[in-house]
Chains A and B, each alone.
Chain A
Amino acid sequence: GAGVSQSPRYKVAKRGQDVALRCDPISGHVSLFWYQQALGQGPEFLTYFQNEAQLDKSGLPSDRFFAERPEGSVSTLKIQRTQQEDSAVYLCASSLDAWLVGLNTEAFFGQGTRLTVV
């Protein structure tokens, strides 16, 4: 597709429920990022993939958060046993090449999935 696509756009989960958020990056993009954006805040880094390899998961807030990108394209962010503090917009971004290598400087963001935990 022309841009980064995320689904669903909105998700309401009951506390304790597991959720899965999907990201379709721009075709051929090597780098993929997940960010969490709380209401009124700037996005905060969760994890980074280079192709299928998860090179950085330092931003994942707990072991309830898990991300994968098994074939180096589509990625899924899974949150187990959701809590109210998980309510946020989850943004996915992709970049053409390995991040910060050479002239690769641009990342393109999807519209996000708004997760509300009730």
Chain B
Amino acid sequence: ELKVEQNPLFLSMQEGKNYTIYCNYSTTSDRLYWYRQDPGKSLESLFVLLSNGAVKQEGRLMASLDTKARLSTLHITAAVHDLSATYFCAVTSTGNQFYFGTGTSLTVIP
């Protein structure tokens, strides 16, 4: 079974600081997703990474994918309070499902 691990699980960071969330997965996958979830809300798609070396940026978030290392990163630049949420990575394999990580709960403090 495909395993997806995220770290850290909890992240408290000051406004204006930079940080990176890591996502490792156990078997070959060519699609990696990052989602954001606010409390009581659904999953909001942030990025879809489809190939090795893919890098996508939106605002203060940048995601990258290294399929050889089975690693994706979500980099946060100059954090602001609005980024406080739980972030999930997910991968797909040959089946019909996403395999989600356990999530990283991010709190940005003034």
Contacts and interface: CB of A to CB of B under 8 A. Distances in A.
Given A55-B96, A99-B96, A106-B48, A42 B42 contact: no
B98 interface: yes
Q: State the main secondary structure of chain B at its contact with A.
A: strand
B75 interface: no
Nearest to B44: A109
Interface residues of B, number: 23
Nearest to B48: A105
Given A42-B88, A42-B90, A110-B42, A56 B96 contact: yes
B98 A105 contact: no
Interface residues of A, number: 26
A43 B4 CA distance: 12
Contacts of A42: 4, 88, 90, 100-103
B78 interface: no
Contacts of A107: 45, 98
Interface of A: 4, 33, 35, 40-45, 48, 55-56, 58-59, 91, 93, 99-100, 105-112
Interface of B: 4, 31, 35, 40-45, 48, 50, 88, 90, 92, 95-103
